């Protein structure tokens, strides 16, 4: 089995989520395409550190709804079975181990601690059959929070010439091939500022599109996309 570059895997996972649209950790509106609560282990413990971002990203990309993750063995212990053909995600475990080494000065044996990282293959509950029902968590539907549009802001964005499409799909993104911006309804946002902030971000991507600045290509590579993401974030 080929050795996995853990750092590169983490980077690639996060980049893939950014490329797919607004990451779940940066979503100021209601309604989930998939579960975006803190990912949980099979026993209900919360994941920590970079695993939160990695499993959030994987759940969003693959449209998983449950927050629970577990290994193949843990699924069996809970009475479940991973569906045929399902692909595991990866979580990272960091730990320490002690080893005996010979001291450089006095030649005596010393105990030193070293850190290590290893990868665990885990599956989302949506990939597993036969688990207790509480493991199959459904996404929250969009809620109309009563947030209202600002006419002046609407006029500004209309003046850019960008095609802005709104639907109940709880995602915000610029589609380079179709050359339009997609936004969830403003009423599902927690604030008008949040709505226009996201719309402004996506409009920056639109401005970088093939028919304008042409820095964001229809088939952009990671370097080109990363450049435009930095522009949109600035």
Least trusted range by pLDDT, from 18-27, 81-90, 182-191: 18-27
> What whole-number distance in Å separates Cα of residue 39 and Cα of residue 47?
6
pLDDT of residue 88: 94
Higher-confidence residue of 73 and 56: namely 73
Report how far apart, in Å, the C-alpha atoms of 49 and of each of 38, 46, 144 are.
11, 10, 32
Q: How far is CA 99 from CA 92, 93, 94, 118, in A?
A: 22, 19, 17, 18
Residue 225 has a pLDDT of 64
**pLDDT (mean) for 92-112:** 71
Judged by average pLDDT, the poorest of 46-55, 76-85, 184-193 is: 46-55
pLDDT over threshold 80, residue 226 = no
- Partners of 59 in the β-ladder: none
> Both tokens of residue 96?
């320490």
Q: Write down the domain spans for the chain.
A: 1-89+122-138, 142-234
Convert the pLDDT of each residue in 61-78 to its tens digit: 787 888 899 999 999 999
Quick one: pLDDT band at residue 1, thresholds 50, 70, 90? Answer: very low
CA angle 63/50/171 to nearest 5° reads 30
Residue that has been written with the tokens 């099979």 in this structure:
42
Q: Which phi and psi (to 5°) does residue 46 adopt?
A: -75, 140
Give all strands (DSSP E) within the chain, no chain letters. Answer: 69-70, 81-82, 89-102, 109-124, 128-129, 164-166, 173-175, 180-183
Residue 62 vs residues 36, 86, 189: alpha-carbon distances, Å: 12, 11, 24
Total-model pTM = 0.54
Mean pLDDT of all residues belonging to the chain: 81
């Amino acid at each position: 089995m080929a050795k996995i570059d853990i750092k590169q895997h983490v980077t690639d996972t996060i980049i893939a989520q950014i490329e797919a649209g607004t990451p779940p950790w940066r979503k100021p509106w209601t309604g989930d395409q998939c579960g975006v609560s803190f990912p949980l282990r099979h026993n209900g413990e919360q994941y920590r550190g970079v695993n939160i971002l990695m499993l959030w990203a994987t759940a969003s990309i693959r449209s998983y709804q449950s927050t629970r993750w577990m290994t193949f063995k843990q699924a069996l212990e809970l009475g479940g079975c991973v569906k045929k053909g399902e692909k595991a995600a990866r979580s990272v475990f960091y730990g320490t181990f002690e080893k005996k080494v010979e001291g450089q000065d006095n030649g005596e044996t010393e105990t030193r601690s070293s850190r290590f990282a290893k990868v665990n293959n885990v599956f989302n509950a949506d990939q597993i059959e036969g688990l207790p029902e509480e493991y199959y968590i459904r996404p929250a539907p969009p809620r109309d929070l009563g947030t209202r549009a600002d006419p002046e802001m609407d006029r500004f964005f209309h003046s850019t010439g960008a095609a802005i499409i709104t639907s109940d799909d709880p995602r915000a993104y610029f589609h380079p091939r179709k050359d339009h911006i997609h936004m969830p309804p403003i009423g599902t946002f927690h604030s008008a500022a949040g709505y226009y902030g996201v719309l402004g971000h996506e409009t920056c991507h639109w401005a970088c599109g093939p028919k304008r600045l042409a820095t964001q290509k229809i088939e952009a590579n990671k370097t080109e996309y990363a450049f435009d993401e930095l522009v949109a974030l600035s």
